[in-house]
Structure 1
Amino acid sequence: MKNSVDVRTLLSVYEKIKTQGKPIEFGSQLEDIKCTESHDGYSVSLSDEHVSLDINFHNTYHFHTMNEDPESVINQTTTEFHNNNETQIQAFLKKLEEIDKNY
């Protein structure tokens, strides 16, 4: 994965969505980004319609995209699959940067 993100920034965005977003079932939403947290508070998630991002204890994180399995995507090479996922993740990160900047 080409992404190198600052976990502190991600947590800052999470807090902004949580405090300034509208309440939804199991979390909050600001613009089209939703945030939720685990029942124990050790992990939080940020998501939109294409990507979800889990931020775990010890500042580890993992991205999930709509099409996680290259074998399930018809008529797409593995390279195209990875490029598509990377494009979705980069667009998602741009949304998070905008929220961080604007709120």
Structure 2
Amino acid sequence: MKNKVDVRTLLSVYEKVKTQGTPTENGARLEDITCTESQDGYYVNLADSHVSLDINFHNTYHFHTMNEDPDSVINQTTTEFHNNNEAQIEAFLQKLMDLNQRY
């Protein structure tokens, strides 16, 4: 999946949410995507209710999902856990791409 992620596009989405979204206490919200940035400007964040994405200063990124710890998920194999997280991330990325096209 790493090869499918274009950081420039993600930063474009971030800018659209920030400028065209509704201001919130910590950033902005456009549709169901929120954006925030760190105090020092080192990273920005895009998130929905299932996935959070940190984009760092050097164009590195890290996804967080609601259930990051496989040991905390009951009745799920490690493979199912990773497939579930991968599906959440893919859906989140699609949501960001759709938002990028609409705005």
TM-score, normalised to structure 1, is 0.97
- The alignment covers a number of residue pairs equal to 102
Tell me the distance in 2 between the aligned counterparts of 1:68 and 1:31.
25
Corresponding position of 2:48: 48
CA-CA distance at 1:40 after TM superposition: 1.0
The residue matched to 1:49 in structure 2 has which SS?
coil
- Runs of 5+ consecutive residues of structure 2 not aligned to the other structure: none
What letter is aligned with 1:32? D
Q: Deviations over 1:33-68 (max 9, x none)?
A: 000000111100000000000000110000000000
Alignment RMSD? 0.6
Deviating above 6 A after TM superposition, structure 1's stretches of 4 or more consecutive aligned residues are none
Other-structure match for 1:75: 75
Does 2:13 align with 1:13?
Answer: yes
SS of the equivalent of 1:10 reads helix
User: Shift in Å at residue 3 of structure 1?
Assistant: 3.6
Give me the whole-angstrom Cα distance separating, in 1, the residues matched to 2:41 and 2:57.
Answer: 9
Offset of residue 6 of structure 1: 0.5
Q: TM-score, normalised by structure 2?
A: 0.97
Q: Sequence identity of aligned pairs in percent?
A: 75
Q: Structure 1 stretches of 5 or more lacking a match?
A: none
